[in-house]
Amino acid sequence: MASKPIMQFYAELKDAPFPVWRRFQTLNDVRFSRLAYILMTMFEMQASHLFRIEIDNVENIRRTRTDELCDYLIKVYEEGGRYKTYLEVNLELMDDFARFGEESLDAAETLVKHHLTKPGYACTLEYDFGDGWEVEVTLEEVFEDGALPGRELPRVIAGEGYGIIEDCGGTWGLNEIEKAFQKGSGEAYENYSYWLGTDKPDLHAFDIEDMNFRLKKVPRIYKDIYELELKPTELSIAILERQYKK
């Protein structure tokens, strides 16, 4: 049974040319690094680029409070120089970009529940600073379910859209790919078909059963890559490439 509280989130790929979103659940002892690996798995990010998580502390207060404490809490963050919090597993890289009003924390050591403290609080996963993918994640609720086995978590309970395509140029490139395959002919169509290895990609498809299988495997592989700097094993590569479906 799930003896710990369960956090439910809604995550959406920002500025996507068509809906790409997930609703998912995880235990409340999750750290930001693992949350990132879960998101990367669900949105088809292949752990080939740097990432970080951004929390807009002031905006979280504004979107969830309307009482007399709202202005006071915002002032506390402003006076403390903590408008935003950034979390990453390579803090030495983040230090080069730190500015006033920002704090940097180790994603592998920081619990999500200590920062996303109430429903409505949100954070953003930033992946591949060149392509500029962003996934906005909002805490919807925290609840208990004694009948749900803890081994079933994390799990995705709803979603739409395939996810990203690595190195395509971000949401602009995803839109170009979508238009090329909708047209079904022409130079762009031929180039993308060759590059992707298919002439019929379903960018709107979402296989929830397959994704829940992957959520039990892939986040661990991504942890090894980012935190331990280990190369994927042959078995891990087979999982990442979905060879189990062939």
Check whether residue 178 and residue 227 sit in a common domain.
Answer: no
The rounded Cα 177 to chain-centroid distance in angstroms is 22
Check whether residue 43 and residue 152 sit in a common domain.
Answer: yes
How many separate domains does the chain show?
2
Check whether residue 76 and residue 145 sit in a common domain.
Answer: yes
Q: In the prediction, which pLDDT does 77 show?
A: 67
Check whether residue 25 and residue 122 sit in a common domain.
Answer: yes
Residue 1 lies in a domain: no
Check whether residue 133 and residue 212 sit in a common domain.
Answer: yes
Check whether residue 98 and residue 175 sit in a common domain.
Answer: no
Check whether residue 239 and residue 213 sit in a common domain.
Answer: yes
Q: In the prediction, which pLDDT does 4 show?
A: 87
Residue 51 lies in a domain: yes
Could you give the 3-state DSSP secondary structure of residue 225?
A: helix
Q: In the prediction, which pLDDT does 223 show?
A: 97
Q: In the prediction, which pLDDT does 61 show?
A: 81
Instruction: Per-residue pLDDT tens, the chain, 246 aa: give them.
Output: 566 899 999 999 999 999 999 999 999 999 999 999 999 999 999 999 999 999 998 888 887 776 666 676 666 666 665 678 899 997 665 555 555 557 889 999 999 999 999 999 999 999 999 999 999 999 999 999 988 888 999 999 999 999 999 999 999 999 999 999 998 889 998 999 999 988 888 899 999 999 999 999 999 999 999 999 999 999 999 999 999 987
Q: In the prediction, which pLDDT does 201 show?
A: 82
What are the residues facing 136 on neighbouring strands?
12, 124
Check whether residue 56 and residue 156 sit in a common domain.
Answer: yes
Check whether residue 153 and residue 184 sit in a common domain.
Answer: no
Contact 142, 11 (CB under 8 A): no
- What CATH number should be reported for the domain holding residue 20? 3.10.290.30
Instruction: List, in sequence order, every beta strand (DSSP E) within the chain.
Output: 6-13, 21-27, 51-56, 84-88, 102-106, 122-127, 133-143, 155-160
Check whether residue 82 and residue 172 sit in a common domain.
Answer: no
Q: What is the pTM of this model?
A: 0.92
Tell me which residue has tokens 């009482």. Answer: 67
Check whether residue 174 and residue 118 sit in a common domain.
Answer: no
Provide the residue range defining the domain that includes 192.
Answer: 166-202
Residue 239 lies in a domain: yes
Check whether residue 122 and residue 231 sit in a common domain.
Answer: yes
Residue 105 lies in a domain: yes
**Nearest CA to 90 among 217, 182, 201, 228?**
228
